[in-house]
Structure 1
Amino acid sequence: MQKVTHISILILGAVMSDPRTPTPAPAGDTYKGWVFKWTNYIKGYQRRWFVLSNGLLSYYRTQAEMGHTCRGTINLATANISVDDACNFVISNGGLQTYHLKASCEVERQRWITALELAKAKAAHMEPESDDSGDDFSSSSAPVAPGQGGGSHNSDVQSALRTLSSKVEDLSTCNDLISKHGSALQRSLSELDSLRLTGEAGDKIRQVTERATLFRITSNAMINACRDFLALAQAHNKRWQKALQAERGQRVRLEETLEQLAKQHNHLERAFRGAAHANASADIKSAAGPEKGEASDEDDENEFFDAMEEAPEFITVPADPQFHKRSSSNISGFNSDLCPDDQSLNEEPLAMSQDSPSQDLVPLKKRRTRIPDKPNYSLNLWSIMKNCIGKELSKIPMPVNFNEPISMLQRLSEDLEYHELLDKAAKCHSSLEQMCYVAAFSVSSYSTTIYRTGKPFNPLLGETYELDRQRESGYRSLCEQVSHHPPAAAHHVISDRGWTLRQEITVASKFRGKYLSIMPLGTIHAIFEKSNNHYTWKKVTTTVHNIIVGKLWIDQSGEIDVVNHTTGDRCHLKFAPYSYFSRDVARKVTGVVMDKDGKAHYVLSGTWDEKMEFSRVMQSSRRGENGTEGKQKTVYQTLKAREVWRRNPLPEGAETMYYFTALALTLNEPEEGVAPTDSRHRPDQRLMEEGRWDEANVEKQRLEEKQRSARREKERDRDKATASQRTSSQSEESTPHDSHQACWFERCEDRTTGEQVHIYKGGIVAAGRAAQTYFELSVALKRLTH
């Protein structure tokens, strides 16, 4: 019912023109800006975002809240506006609501006062007349037959009439305001003139009086012109409406006539084509019967109708995957109509079939989608954890009740759950856009941990895990436990789609009584062949809360710097820790992609358990918080956000299967041809997956104790060798030899980071060496079977 029209904003802009950049900004029929609002005696004035629209003044904490949370609203139609001093003003609504506001300067305060008064006058003027605003339009609008296309024309005419009527009403409102303020100015000048001041003050008053007289003369002339225009507009208003309606009716009749002519032309054309086809079929002797000729004639008709239809400039038709599968004649199912991204994903089976032409004919292995349900075992948690406070978790023997039937090597391979992000990154031509996908990949690895409160099995020294998804997804992954104390695993992934991923992760964990902190140490590397871009980043800290009392839940916190060592680009990601008092969304992640000069190009936002979006930065500026200049905050103006990653839904019944993802359900699936040291051969892990937890506990303790014995024996041998070397004069400066040499990785210095890491040597794990003696997996399997 109440509105602030465009003419109000134009007049407001003319009144408040100032060479300085204004804080509030008009936008359409609204007026927005930052104003300081009194909150309480503790916080004082706080910076708030105010919006004046449709006769209502609303405020928000930030601009982002405009879409969902309004902190308060005052109806200006019944509000009182008063001025306290140069910068302060008060808005009250009959004692129910009172806003004590303060602008940054007197000019800005005057802008708001003028805008508020104009909106209040407009709201008060429009409120009683709003009921009759549509009578003329409804009475003068002629009915239009359905299907004639007159609905849009009628709405256009009504919209134009509403706009004209609104402008006339705006002019009337401005006329009243000018008369009101002019009278007040005249009274004030008369009061000043009656004081009979002498000297400089008297001269100033006379100058002001002369200028006010000129303003009064000009205003009166404008008021008279406005009054004449209003009278003329009101006299000709209905005449204009009738003229517009007549034009609309004439247009509708012309459209009907054209439509009839088109139908007649269409009918004649079909008749001509049918006659020509009948003559041709009569002259040519062929095997085609009358039915075939009639069918052909129908086809011609269909083609003619399609050609006569008005085609849009372009048409977007979604492709049906089932149609492509059904209509494709090649082996790989590749369709040339797919977009480039989809083409590259479907070309891989063809590229892989070069060595074996019949490889694509072999169907892909059907992976399992379920594992046995988790048994309901009760356990006194405090009886086990009370002696573990302050100790490193890797040195504490834990029952399988705290585990999930998967090893740390397999859990590390779960980072490839969203490998398609790296596939898309490999196709990017811009290194900055590629950085967005790499950063989203670094966040996506945490989405699998949202419900996963179980601890993975600690790998035994020399344990390996190979994940071959070359035919399905184009990559092969290999992990090996290269150190026992501290526990460290090396991971290497090779993809046919142009990227390589490698990492060496050492996990340090501390139990603090109420929560458990898990701190991954090590660097992750992603290398892209086409662009030669080399990215590195580290993992953040994982915290498991409510260890003693309550429901377990997991949080990720910390900061990640994704660095492109080739171009110098950098992305700083921040994982906000959960806080009960924070108003931000839980599990929030924010980041900025910058080039080597520190200029921001993209802004990333989202949550590590749901999705990530990125927006291109168009402009950035620094602004003090709450009007102060001490603490600066960067404000980015961005384009519309685009989703770069979203979490895949969990399989059905995941709550009874340790909340495993679709990939995690297949990681421990038995496969032939893997190395004897592969995690799939661990008997304790297999027993736990099958629900035989008591047997799994016994076997887990036996394997871990066997490993500890082997380690102590190796340490004794190393001490003896060291003692003998020290007694020998020829080897006084020699160092003890390493107690373990990894099979598929070699220890060397990383050229990029300068760290001592394990790098993949190459080779095929499945055809590797026999099981190590201290590992004894095959022996353990025989003992279980007998």
Structure 2
Amino acid sequence: VQRRVSLSPFCKCGHVSRQTSSKQDDNLCFYTLAPVLSCHANPKLSNFDFPFKVPQICRLILGAVMSEPKTPTPVPAGDTYKGWVFKWTNYIKGYQRRWFVLSNGLLSYYRTQAEMGHTCRGTINLATATITVDDACNFVISNGGAQTYHLKASCEVERQRWITALELAKAKAARMQAESGKTNKHKNTEVQSALRTLGSKVEDLSTCNDLISKHGSALQRSLSELDSLRLTGEAGDKIRQVTERATLFRITSNAMINACRDFLALAQAHSKRWQKALQAERDQRVRLEETLEQLAKQHNHLERAFRGAAQANATADNKSSAGPGKGEASDEDDDNEFFDAMEEAPEFITVPADPQFHKSESPSQELVPLKKRRTRIADKPNYSLNLWSIMKNCIGKELSKIPMPVNFNEPISMLQRLSEDLEYHELLDKASKCQSSLEQMCYVAAFSVSSYSTTVHRTGKPFNPLLGETYELDRRRESGYRSLCEQVSHHPPAAAHHAISDRGWTLRQEITVASKFRGKYLSIMPLGTIHAIFEKGNNHYTWKKVTTTVHNIIVGKLWIDQSGEIDVVNHTTGDRCHLKFAPYSYFSRDVARKVTGVVMDKDGKAHYVLSGTWDEKMEFSRVMQSSRGGENGTEGKQKTVYQTLKAREVWRRNPLPEGAESMYYFTDLALTLNEPEEGVAPTDSRRRPDQRLMEDGRWDEANSEKQRLEEKQRIARREREREAASQRTSSQSEDSAPHENYQALWFERCEDRITGEQVHIYKGGYWEAKDRGSFEGCPDIF
């Protein structure tokens, strides 16, 4: 008797021959697999008869030969797979029969088939689920803990059919999920279709490979058991078990071979076509990039020309007005606001009218282009010097009192390093636009963190400024702000800084650096308060800097760490942000250089949570609900839990320029700080000769010049002390000791009305002197 049975998708021969034994035993039949195996070129097994009992052969080859009417089997219908499976419910009821439906990468179950129309008992997305096999009939599906199905099939073959269908559906769901997340789609539909087909074949290969591995392991275990048996009565059962597993293993291997052949054929057919299509796409992208670059240049040229004409017209109109008013300022503000409009899309766009409607009385006036800043300095020479030979006798001393050669410096002064705090001035620009003082606090706090990002690789020591040394940073045309620093004290070294922006904020600070060398590391403690004042809302913020530590002074590679706590306080509203810089710890599991903070109002209610690192980025999240922890016995206080919305990035570090490692790891801004510039004061750090020589790589000359300047400063200090002593003698006052009697030129000493500290505040006059081109009264320090 011959029966033809379809073995798809595992075998394409599609038939099995059935021969009844001579004993005519209804419970024992012989099924020869010769037609199946011979078509797959297996000469050893092509004419071998395998004895099986009828119930066993019914479950063989995924139910392909025969099926029992009493055992319901899964029913494939297109991409949908349905069938009865036993599901574990609880320890009282145990496994219960449920109707499972696999469709579109989702596995759902119901109590009965009738429930499919109205009540779903549960669903698992296979794209993120894991499928594991417990034993012959049991398997588990889990999506990571929230949902776990412990399932049991009626037989091993049925379980295998479900496993195969589930893994194929999972692979397809994962592919569809990955494709849906892509935003850039290919325009070539033919290539896209071929890629999907190949991807499907690759997933089929992966699935079949997993099946082969599972069946191969089971076969090896069975063979091992067979070898250990003696020729007893149970030998027949073991032989049949080995035969069943060998058959399943062989069918799966054939399926993998067929999938490999299909994959190879598709790859060969479409390889050349893909190469041509890819090259065409690359050529088109290059052409589009070139076109876009040309359009950008033309747009920039037209924009500059229009803005120049508009400025000329505005100047002509303002000449007829009563005096300088809001007209001049508005032109400048519009010029500055243009760059901010690129960051946040406005609700509407205003287009200027045609220039022909404006009266032009000075057509020859043109807009002066912005100065092109330099992008490179001379590479750092490779001079070796033993740091320990210099610092071994200086343990415990102030860093400012240690005679350090320029070999350990970087070619900028401390005043220029202080000006680098404005690297991310855009944060203050955005803060000045905030409607909420609490949101404004987030930007101010991020700004206080951003100033440390420039120090992560900067192990060089900046030059100690000479008394009376100044540094100006005029970025009014590019960024809308002006900055001035002056060294107002030498012992202790103190620098005053004042920056003002046309975009509504002012930044001022006086920093005194206290430093100690501890043998293995160097601690730098900035003392002083930083103030940020905003015109809008008149919000006044203050904070202090954290401690900077330079590690591996003696042995190893130098590295920088920032640690401590900062309290950013809004003295107008009472808002406060507490920031914590976690020190580096080898045993900590947290990310390195971590910074966390909480923004609270005057009542102590949390509104925002900040998190990030001081060398990379900061994010802030709106707090929706918080639960305060109380005393918990001997374990101390519990941590407060904040429920927040999705985090928003408030600041990210700019990438370093190319070749920064050979240029002292300077940022783009730092590379321009010591660039020569006309019109600066004679005391400006750009004019300092030893610093200029070092930047040019002439370190020996720089060291000699540094010694000359330091000796000149000592002579000037002794002269001031003599003058102070003579004044004290003439006034016949013995209550006060001799002092330097030095007064800063551009800053005046007074009491800060916010902190009560004695500080130096900018008194004005510098920028007016620069406009006149006359810096009278500047000391000769160089």
2:415/2:471 contact within 8 Å kept: yes
SS in 2 for 1:624: coil
Displacement of 1:297 in angstroms is 44
SS in 2 for 1:531: helix
1:616/1:638 contact within 8 Å kept: yes
2:215/2:249 contact within 8 Å kept: no
Q: Deviations along 1:482-520, whole A, 9 cap, x unmatched? A: 000000000000110000000000001111111111100
SS in 2 for 1:550: coil
Q: Deviations along 1:632-669, whole A, 9 cap, x unmatched? A: 11000000000000001111111111010000000000
1:83/1:90 contact within 8 Å kept: yes
2:87/2:149 contact within 8 Å kept: yes
Change (3 A) 1:529 1:705: same
Displacement of 1:702 in angstroms is 1.3
1:595/1:601 contact within 8 Å kept: yes
Displacement of 1:284 in angstroms is 50
Displacement of 1:631 in angstroms is 2.4
Displacement of 1:472 in angstroms is 0.6
Correspondences of 1:86-165 after superposition (within 5 Å): none
* Worse overlay, 376-385 or 588-597: 376-385
Displacement of 1:570 in angstroms is 0.2
Q: Quick one: distance in 2 between partners of 1:686 and 1:99? A: 73
Correspondences of 1:225-236 after superposition (within 5 Å): none
Change (3 A) 1:117 1:229: closer
Q: Deviations along 1:333-365, whole A, 9 cap, x unmatched? A: xxxxxxxxxxxxxxxxxxxxx999998700001
* TM-score scaled by length of structure 2: 0.53
1:451/1:659 contact within 8 Å kept: yes
Change (3 A) 1:436 1:247: closer
Change (3 A) 1:38 1:579: farther
1:616/1:639 contact within 8 Å kept: yes
Displacement of 1:630 in angstroms is 3.9
Displacement of 1:54 in angstroms is 16
Change (3 A) 1:111 1:724: farther
2:584/2:593 contact within 8 Å kept: yes
Q: Quick one: distance in 1 between partners of 2:541 and 2:70? A: 45
1:757 is matched with 759
Change (3 A) 1:475 1:179: closer
1:744 is matched with 746
Q: Quick one: distance in 2 between partners of 1:760 and 1:558? A: 29
* Worse overlay, 227-236 or 587-596: 227-236
Change (3 A) 1:543 1:230: closer
2:470/2:487 contact within 8 Å kept: yes
1:7/1:167 contact within 8 Å kept: no
2:281 is matched with 247
Question: In percent, how many aligned pairs have the same letter?
Answer: 92
1:16/1:111 contact within 8 Å kept: no
Change (3 A) 1:663 1:638: same
2:656/2:668 contact within 8 Å kept: yes
Q: Quick one: distance in 1 between partners of 2:520 and 2:557? A: 12
SS in 2 for 1:117: helix
* Worse overlay, 224-233 or 573-582: 224-233
Correspondences of 1:673-712 after superposition (within 5 Å): 673-712=679-718
Q: Quick one: distance in 2 between partners of 1:720 and 1:299? A: 51
SS in 2 for 1:574: strand
1:500/1:527 contact within 8 Å kept: yes
1:393/1:509 contact within 8 Å kept: yes
Displacement of 1:230 in angstroms is 46
Q: Quick one: distance in 1 between partners of 2:418 and 2:141? A: 60
Q: Quick one: distance in 2 between partners of 1:315 and 1:6? A: 77
Q: Quick one: distance in 1 between partners of 2:456 and 2:617? A: 13
1:748/1:759 contact within 8 Å kept: yes
Q: Deviations along 1:306-335, whole A, 9 cap, x unmatched? A: 99999999999999999999xxxxxxxxxx
Displacement of 1:709 in angstroms is 2.9
1:29 is matched with 79
Change (3 A) 1:286 1:549: closer
SS in 2 for 1:502: strand
2:660/2:666 contact within 8 Å kept: yes
Q: Quick one: distance in 2 between partners of 1:488 and 1:366? A: 32
2:313/2:362 contact within 8 Å kept: no
Change (3 A) 1:502 1:188: same
2:618/2:649 contact within 8 Å kept: yes
Q: Deviations along 1:27-79, whole A, 9 cap, x unmatched? A: 99999999999999999999999999999999999999999999999999999
* Worse overlay, 598-607 or 97-106: 97-106
Change (3 A) 1:539 1:167: same
Q: Quick one: distance in 2 between partners of 1:696 and 1:270? A: 43
* Worse overlay, 375-384 or 397-406: 375-384
Determine which structure has the larger helix proportion and give its number: 1
Q: Quick one: distance in 2 between partners of 1:277 and 1:464? A: 33
2:728 is matched with 726
SS in 1 for 2:579: strand
Change (3 A) 1:164 1:102: closer
Displacement of 1:104 in angstroms is 38
Correspondences of 1:309-708 after superposition (within 5 Å): 361-623=367-629, 630-708=636-714
1:20 is matched with 70
1:4/1:53 contact within 8 Å kept: no
Displacement of 1:706 in angstroms is 1.9
* Worse overlay, 469-478 or 313-322: 313-322
Query: Number of residue pairs matched?
Result: 712
1:489/1:504 contact within 8 Å kept: yes
1:464/1:481 contact within 8 Å kept: yes
Q: Quick one: distance in 2 between partners of 1:288 and 1:719? A: 53
2:304/2:367 contact within 8 Å kept: no
Change (3 A) 1:19 1:482: farther
1:122/1:173 contact within 8 Å kept: no
1:391/1:510 contact within 8 Å kept: yes
Change (3 A) 1:283 1:248: same
Change (3 A) 1:212 1:745: same
* Worse overlay, 309-318 or 388-397: 309-318
Displacement of 1:531 in angstroms is 1.0
**Cα RMSD, aligned residues only:** 18.7
Q: Deviations along 1:572-612, whole A, 9 cap, x unmatched? A: 00000111111111100000000000000000000000000
Q: Quick one: distance in 1 between partners of 2:71 and 2:759? A: 56
Change (3 A) 1:246 1:411: closer
Displacement of 1:758 in angstroms is 0.2
2:521/2:550 contact within 8 Å kept: yes
Change (3 A) 1:306 1:438: closer
Displacement of 1:182 in angstroms is 41
* Worse overlay, 586-595 or 96-105: 96-105
* Worse overlay, 405-414 or 47-56: 47-56
* Worse overlay, 286-295 or 614-623: 286-295
1:777 is matched with none
1:8/1:170 contact within 8 Å kept: no
Displacement of 1:738 in angstroms is 5.2
Which residue among 275, 284, 289 is the counterpart of 2:309? Answer: 275
Q: Quick one: distance in 1 between partners of 2:665 and 2:231? A: 88
Displacement of 1:731 in angstroms is 4.0
Q: Quick one: distance in 2 between partners of 1:595 and 1:509? A: 35
Q: Quick one: distance in 2 between partners of 1:703 and 1:258? A: 53
2:336/2:479 contact within 8 Å kept: no
